[in-house]
Amino acid sequence: QAAWSLKTRALTEMVYVDEIDMDEEGIAEMLLDENAIAQVARPGTSLKLPGTSQGGGPSPAVRPVTQSGRPITGFVRPSTQSGRPSTMEQAIRTPRTGLSARPVTSASGRYGRLGTASMLTNPDGPFINLSRLNLAKYAQKPKLAKALFEYIFYHENDVKNALDLAALATEHAQFKDWWWKVQIGKCYYRLGLFREAEKQFKSALKQQDMVDTILYLAKVYLRLDQPVTAMNLFKQGLDRFPGEVTLICGIARIHEEMNNISSAAEYYKDVLKQDNTHVEAIACIGSNHFYSDQPEIALRFYRYL
């Protein structure tokens, strides 16, 4: 069992992707999105219609914007990489981006490719034959179940089997293990069931306060186009984890996507107070100074980078 567990962990590590930052919204996600969102959102409450720059930031005429109308920041992130095109036509016409050679397809295709890459690693066929596994048996061995879950989720990219295993394991743990709740939430998120994912993450947070869980829950809210809720969640998180860099950075990113550049810069400065080598914060503050006609200050930040 120890050898088996070690091998599953090693194979998982080879293709592991951190789910918190991995978020690309491809054409398929946009077309098949069934979450009803207000067509005309109030200004300042939607990421799809970022307002004109509030609070004294440089005007869009000065600061270049991406295809989807967001100001260009100093940092490429997974969510901004694909850039939400405002219309379907534009999405289809958009060529392969300069950032990657692949067209902006569905993110699930990308996970699939991660899975197929892993199959080439063992010539005798897959290490674990999922169709023959007795999930109920493994769910009763918590130590093995966790390694197996990560293997199925990351290496095999079989979200449905992973979800079945997680559900059985949660039941076996009498719904008291927060880790399994987070994993079920991750499965639901991948399957596009955002409201179900939200319930699981909230339930996990009640049992165990974790920064990761807050970040997963915020990701759900951002996908549901509720930036204000996500921001409040981060702020509540900061009450419990004062000075946590990822949470401050999350607030700054939302402000930036809402075109609220001056508030974003303030939050990035808070990030630097906690961690003065934070690349994203330095880059974003630098680009903000550059577009605000302060090239010499920007130069200091870029030199620092």
Phi first, then psi, for residue 268 (nearest 5°) are -65, -35
pLDDT in tens, 144-189: 999 999 999 988 888 999 999 999 999 999 999 999 999 999 999 9
pLDDT in tens, 112-143: 555 555 555 555 667 778 778 888 888 898 88
Tell whether 27 is covered by a domain.
Answer: yes
Whole-number average pLDDT of the chain: 81
Token pair 């100001």 is found at 71
User: pLDDT at residue 99 above 50?
Assistant: no
Model pLDDT, residue 22: 65
By residue range, what is the domain housing residue 63? 23-37+57-110
Tally the C-alpha atoms within 13 A of residue 168's C-alpha that lie toward its C-beta: 18
pLDDT in tens, 202-254: 999 999 999 999 999 999 999 888 999 999 999 999 999 999 999 999 999 99
Tell whether 71 is covered by a domain.
Answer: yes
Model pLDDT, residue 125: 64
Tell whether 248 is covered by a domain.
Answer: no
Query: What token pair was written down for 211?
Result: 């920064």
- CA 1, CA 111: separation in Å to the nearest integer? 28
Tell whether 100 is covered by a domain.
Answer: yes
Token pair 């950075």 is found at 249
Tell whether 225 is covered by a domain.
Answer: no
Model pLDDT, residue 148: 92
Nearest residue to 156 via CA among 96, 189, 113, 208:
113
Nearest residue to 146 via CA among 129, 132, 166, 163:
166
Tell whether 215 is covered by a domain.
Answer: no
- What's the pLDDT band for 65 if we cut at 50, 70, 90? confident
Other CB atoms closer than 10 Å to residue 12's CB: what's the count? Answer: 20
Tell whether 243 is covered by a domain.
Answer: no
- What's the pLDDT band for 80 if we cut at 50, 70, 90? low
pLDDT in tens, 282-295: 999 999 999 888 99
User: pLDDT at residue 100 above 50?
Assistant: no
- Per DSSP, the three-state class of 65 is strand
- Number of structural domains (the chain) is 1
Tell whether 95 is covered by a domain.
Answer: yes
Token pair 């009640």 is found at 206
Q: Is 176 exposed, middle or buried (0-12, 13-18, 19+ CB in 10 A)?
A: exposed
Model pLDDT, residue 94: 53
Q: What pairs with residue 65 in β-bridges?
A: 71
